[in-house]
Chains A and B, each alone.
Chain A
Amino acid sequence: MTLDRIYLDTFDWRLFRRGDALVEEHPLSGQRVLVLSNRDGRHTELRVPSTGRPRQPTELPAALQRRLGPKLAPRNLLDVGRERVEVWPLRMLDEDDKTVAFIDVERSPSAVRVALRPVRGYEKAADRLVALLDSQADLSGGSDPMVEVIRAGGREPGELLEPPELRLNPDDDGHVALSKVFEHLLVTMELQEEGVRQQLDPELLHDYRVAVRRTRSIEGLARRYLPEEMRRLWEQDWKWLAGVTGLPRDLDVLLLELQLEQPTITAAADVGVHELAARVSARRSLEQAKLRDALTGERYSTLKRGWRAGIADLASSPNGITAGRLARDTIGTASKHLLKAAKKIDDSSPAEDIHTARKRAKRLRYAAEMLGTALPSKDVKSVITHMKRLQDDLGQFQDAEVQLHLVRDLLDDASLGEPSSHALITGDLMMENLHARQQEARGDLVKALREFARS
């Protein structure tokens, strides 16, 4: 029997890390099945007929969804490795012709494997078979087939796409420190780039966008230490890049919200939820196509090339102040900016003021997280913790604000067709929920900002 075996996992290897393997087996003729097994003993937990390749946990058959859904959501399921194998399935039977062990002899392009699968309740029979095979055949202990297949595809299972850790030396020159930060962020972006282009998972765009935002924040905060040319040449291009990543990310968040928070909207609005989600998906496809074009276009490659050249110039032109001093100055500036914005916020502040405060809180956090690595950790730890908390509250408010606008905009968008009454009701319910969430967040964030202003 010849079959294609496709290993599925999330980009952050949630199944592999749990010790599971989820494989779609696609015989050249016959029913496709999804097989969930434990990688240690190759004990098959579930074997479920498949109707099509699931891209998201919500598309898995019901039994697998119940078992895996909560652990995988909201990640996408990716094809992490595939192989074509010829399989000769054998069984070990007892006196009643009951199967007590499965022996699969498999030939793949790279190896011939004998895979023994114990049967629940008959583990001793499997042990006896292993002993027999060990004594009679010249077999060597094989490695995990999933690992072999993924490695053959040029990847290391379990390995995350992360840049090397950023650690600044307090005695480094300030320009050298900034060049290290910018290089770290550029590498982060480049690691996610292909995944963003291929839309493998919304989280990759999130990480990519955060790296863009961090670059802009550090560039803005440390502008007095940067060569004027570096800012003049690239500032507008960074703004453009932040713009083209913004809407696709907001639409990702809205779609996840619709998928995950569906029960809070009310079951009766199901039809409306689906329609609204379809409108979000349609707009998202358009925006993602624009993003893909942007990331394959000339402006982007020129930005990266030019920025990297700027980073190299920065590293080779010391400015005389130490990384430690630059970090303290920058964090101090960011802190002052936030304080100014925080003092403006009260119970009736407009959303724009709250948005400004959020941006400034982010800038302070980024400066503390990145340039702060040049300082003793005790000096920056509390700032980071404080900012994370503050950002949660501000984020709740601002995310609700963005989604409110998006829902309204999507329902008004004539190019997506006239919305049905179901979609309008769902939109109204959703906006009500978002308003309520925003009001709740407003109270928390005003309190948190006041605390910050006092501290």
Chain B
Amino acid sequence: MKVIATYSIKGGVGKTAAAVNLAYLAAREGEPSLLWDLDPQGAATYLLRVRPKVKGGARAIVRRRRSLDSSIKATDFPNFDLVPADLSYRHIDLALDRTKKPTEQLADLLSPLADEYSYVFLDCAPSMSLVSESIFGAADVLLVPTIPTTLSVRTLEQLGDFLGNGGSRGKKVKRAPRVLTFFSLADRRKRLHRDVMATLSARPDVLEAAVPSATEVEQMGKHRAPVAEFAPSSRAARSYADLWCAIRKATE
């Protein structure tokens, strides 16, 4: 089982769209995939038409009063399951903080699912918090969507520093995830985007596949489905397919 977290300190960079589309593509290839919507806003949950409700909330799961398995809902797509978001995830930091090893909790919760799923995607809220550190402890790959602008590059560097310095507690992360970056909401008509992409593309952690700023991605909210379901031959669908190909290869 490979755990891939779509993560960024910034909001609105395409984390949820990437998580939903990539999990869908993995599942479509026949690989059982689970998406855990950790963002209390529940955008991924909404896109997959599931109600944002987890019985007992975040606390019940973190405290093992309910198994993660019991919260899983099948989506409308074969081999693609979801752990929905819940408003109580706003306080998941507090629940984690009351455990002995908070940064190891997510990995621990996911481990019983290892035989069942080939991929677990974690859709994370934009923050740098204890949840983030628990995500770093669970993820094999931290997939960072980056809008090709100067500020986004700075954010990417901040993330690198954060991971390098051992997170907010200054403790070295036991098993640091591999960081992979892709350009999101990329608009090649803009010179700044082109320049930033050209500069960063030499870095080994930057994937060549980029997701454009496209109407189809925005329309996911209207169709409540991954792009390939309602616009299979669109540029956005092809971009996600290329991105999935690159990630699959990188995680092999």
User: What is the interface of chain A, defined by CB distance below 8 A to chain B?
Assistant: 34, 44-49, 61-64, 66-67, 96-99, 119-122
Residues in chain A near residue B71, CB distance under 8 A: 121
Q: Top 9 nearest A-B pairs by Cβ distance?
A: A48-B30, A121-B73, A98-B49, A47-B78, A120-B74, A96-B49, A119-B74, A99-B76, A63-B30
A44 near B118: Cβ-Cβ < 8 Å: no
Residue in A44, A96, A98, A121 whose CB lies within 8 Å of B78: A44
A64 near B30: Cβ-Cβ < 8 Å: yes
Residues in chain A near residue B74, CB distance under 8 A: 119-122
Taking CB as reference atom, which chain A residue is nearest B73? A121
Residues in chain B near residue A63, CB distance under 8 A: 30-32, 79, 118
Closest CB-CB distance, A131 to chain B, in whole Å? 21
Complex alpha-carbon distance, A47 and B48, angstroms? 19
Complex alpha-carbon distance, A48 and B33, angstroms? 12
With known contacts A63-B31, A63-B118, A97-B49, A46–B73 Cβ distance under 8 A: no
9 extra interchain contacts, Cβ-Cβ under 8 A, other than A46-B79, A62-B118, A63-B79?
A34-B30, A49-B30, A63-B118, A64-B30, A98-B49, A98-B76, A120-B81, A121-B71, A121-B74
Complex alpha-carbon distance, A98 and B49, angstroms? 6
Interface of A is mostly: mixed
B64-78 toward A: CB 8 Å interface, digit per residue (1/0)?
Answer: 000000011110101
Complex alpha-carbon distance, A66 and B2, angstroms? 14
Taking CB as reference atom, which chain B residue is nearest A91? B76
Residues in chain A near residue B49, CB distance under 8 A: 96-98
Residues in chain A near residue B76, CB distance under 8 A: 98-99
Residue in B29, B32, B73 whose CB lies within 8 Å of A49: B29
A121 near B72: Cβ-Cβ < 8 Å: yes
Closest CB-CB distance, B91 to chain A, in whole Å? 23
Q: Is B194 an interface residue (CB 8 A)?
A: no
A96 near B51: Cβ-Cβ < 8 Å: yes
Complex alpha-carbon distance, A394 and B29, angstroms? 47
With known contacts A48-B30, A61-B30, A97-B49, A66–B118 Cβ distance under 8 A: yes
Taking CB as reference atom, which chain A residue is nearest B78? A47
Residues in chain B near residue A49, CB distance under 8 A: 28-30
Residues in chain B near residue A47, CB distance under 8 A: 30, 78-79
Taking CB as reference atom, which chain A residue is nearest B70? A121
Residues in chain A near residue B29, CB distance under 8 A: 49
Closest CB-CB distance, A64 to chain B, in whole Å? 7
Residues in chain A near residue B31, CB distance under 8 A: 62-63
Q: List 21 A-B contacts (CB under 8 A).
A: A34-B30, A44-B78, A45-B32, A47-B30, A61-B30, A63-B79, A63-B118, A67-B115, A96-B49, A96-B50, A96-B51, A98-B48, A98-B50, A119-B73, A119-B74, A120-B72, A120-B73, A121-B71, A121-B72, A121-B73, A122-B74
Closest CB-CB distance, A300 to chain B, in whole Å? 45
B residues 141-189 in Cβ contact with A at 8 Å: none
A46 near B30: Cβ-Cβ < 8 Å: yes
Closest CB-CB distance, A223 to chain B, in whole Å? 56
Residues in chain A near residue B224, CB distance under 8 A: 96-97
Closest CB-CB distance, B68 to chain A, in whole Å? 12
Complex alpha-carbon distance, A48 and B49, angstroms? 23
Residues in chain A near residue B81, CB distance under 8 A: 120
Complex alpha-carbon distance, A98 and B32, angstroms? 20
Residues in chain B near residue A98, CB distance under 8 A: 48-50, 76
Closest CB-CB distance, A341 to chain B, in whole Å? 48
B residues 72-99 in Cβ contact with A at 8 Å: 72-74, 76, 78-79, 81
Taking CB as reference atom, which chain B residue is nearest A48? B30
Closest CB-CB distance, A122 to chain B, in whole Å? 7
Residues in chain A near residue B50, CB distance under 8 A: 96, 98
Most chain B beta-carbon contacts within 10 A, residue among A46, A67, A119? A46
Complex alpha-carbon distance, A275 and B28, angstroms? 33
A62 near B78: Cβ-Cβ < 8 Å: no
Closest CB-CB distance, B218 to chain A, in whole Å? 20
Closest CB-CB distance, A375 to chain B, in whole Å? 47
Complex alpha-carbon distance, A48 and B224, angstroms? 23
Complex alpha-carbon distance, A334 and B73, angstroms? 64
Complex alpha-carbon distance, A48 and B26, angstroms? 11
Residues in chain B near residue A46, CB distance under 8 A: 30, 32, 78-79
Complex alpha-carbon distance, A64 and B30, angstroms? 8
Closest CB-CB distance, A44 to chain B, in whole Å? 7
B73 near A62: Cβ-Cβ < 8 Å: no
Closest CB-CB distance, B214 to chain A, in whole Å? 24
Taking CB as reference atom, which chain A residue is nearest B71? A121
Taking CB as reference atom, which chain B residue is nearest A99? B76
Most chain A beta-carbon contacts within 10 A, residue among B48, B50, B115? B50
Most chain A beta-carbon contacts within 10 A, residue among B28, B32, B48, B224? B32
B31-74 toward A: CB 8 Å interface, digit per residue (1/0)?
Answer: 11000000000000000111100000000000000000001111
Residues in chain B near residue A119, CB distance under 8 A: 73-74
Closest CB-CB distance, B117 to chain A, in whole Å? 10
B73 near A122: Cβ-Cβ < 8 Å: yes
Closest CB-CB distance, B51 to chain A, in whole Å? 7
Taking CB as reference atom, which chain A residue is nearest B83? A121
Most chain A beta-carbon contacts within 10 A, residue among B30, B32, B224? B30
Residues in chain A near residue B72, CB distance under 8 A: 120-121
Taking CB as reference atom, which chain B residue is nearest A47? B78
Residues in chain A near residue B48, CB distance under 8 A: 98
Closest CB-CB distance, A90 to chain B, in whole Å? 14
